[in-house]
Amino acid sequence: MRKRPFLSALLFFSLFLVLANFSAKKEYQSKSGPHPRAKNIIFMVPDGMGLADVTAARIFKHGSEGDILHLETLSTIGYQRTHAADSSVTDSAAAASAWANGEKFRKGEISCHDDDQDGKCKPTPGPTILETAKEKGKSTGLVATSTVSHATPAAFGAHVSSRDCENEIARQYIQVTKVDVILGGGLNHFNSTGEQADKCGTFGNFIAEAENNGYDVVYTGQELDSALAGGSKKILGLFTPKGKTPEMFRVNPKEYYRKEEPTLPKMTAAALNVLEKDDDGFFLLVEGSQIDWANHRNDVAYQVAETLAFDHAVQVVLDWVNEKPSRRQHTLVIIAPDHETGGFAINDTGGGTYEPGDLVDGAWTTIGHTAGDVLIWSQGPGSEYLGRAVDNTDIYKVMRQVLE
């Protein structure tokens, strides 16, 4: 008999938590009065990054007792569920498509429901958040250290049944979506022959078409600098045939950038240089793609180098935002991994603390993705709705709302 009041109280408290969470989750949809508005949205994706990756990078840069990373300075922190429509463990295609469209997708689908597995979008979702920004007169950009036609950026600028249709994704960027700034690897997918047709059967010289449509096409960091100096408003930068050079292999990043490839921070700065010229604002997606690749390889040095390069790109964004009060007031910045990769954890050292320059003693549970929730850091208009437990589809809803 004595247990009944306790059980009743526990049941009431549990119900209260459920209702409170539901209320918080829906707050951005039901809140009365004017909603916050964002002129610019900058969505930054550290692909496959878990919280332990952040810790490992921070330790390497500052030691156990040192300063925090730039991404950790954003004012709002929440976390997201990442499952796909057909799996508890998502891939980048389904996760990014959920962000871009506000609904769940199967693994491998790029902003396209292919329920019959026949290669056709049925039904095709409405415009992605990037396409919505475009419809509102804003400029748009995609930046990645993978092929720029890879799954995460593709979900914002294309609709295809399979992430393996990278030639078709490249075609849609140029012919359909007409993204203003495209920077990354993937030259091979923008200029292919019939023998190099992708899973969708697409091939062609989309570089020549881009040039005819007013893009400055560049292949090196020096050419990118020249295009920026010339006041370019549309840039297609394809710096490697496939993915870009990992940061851990850049012995002298500054010199390497001057002669050949721009780093992720340099590409981010270049995209901002172009997009900020649009008085209507812009949508920019920046992906640190190879954090994921490093975790797939269970390589802590590779992982730390890519995470720190991504954090440097975050610094570039925050410096740009903070340069003018109007930018800080009207720019929504979101930093969110699409999923965690590897099940990475940091082991006990047996005593003592790490010093700057130390690589942690890390371990992984898998070479694949995991189902764990991942963090969201954000600031700016609408970020208050992301400081809680949300689904990855809710990020789209927040972005869509602040654009309206």
Active site residues: 92
**CA distance linking residue 330 with residue 278, whole number of Å:** 14
Secondary structure percentages of the chain, helix, strand, coil, to 5: 45, 20, 40
- Helix orientation angle between 300-322 and 51-62, rounded to the nearest 10 degrees: 80
* Per-residue tokens: 34: 């004017």
**CA distance linking residue 383 with residue 333, whole number of Å:** 8
**CA distance linking residue 138 with residue 119, whole number of Å:** 31
Side by side, the strands of the sheet bearing 389-391 are 216-218, 235-238, 181-185, 139-147, 282-288, 40-46, 331-335, 374-379, 76-81, 389-391
For 260-391, where are the alpha helices, taking DSSP H only?
264-275, 290-296, 300-322, 325-330
**CA distance linking residue 260 with residue 268, whole number of Å:** 16
* Per-residue tokens: 255: 């010199």
For 164-239, where are the alpha helices, taking DSSP H only?
166-172, 187-190, 206-212, 221-229
For strand 76-81 and strand 374-379, is the pairing parallel, antiparallel, or unpaired? antiparallel
Nearest to 221 by CA among 239, 248, 234: 239
Listed in sequence order, the residues at least 6 apart from 150 whose beta carbon sits closer than 8 Å to its beta carbon are 92, 144, 163, 166, 184, 186, 243, 287, 289
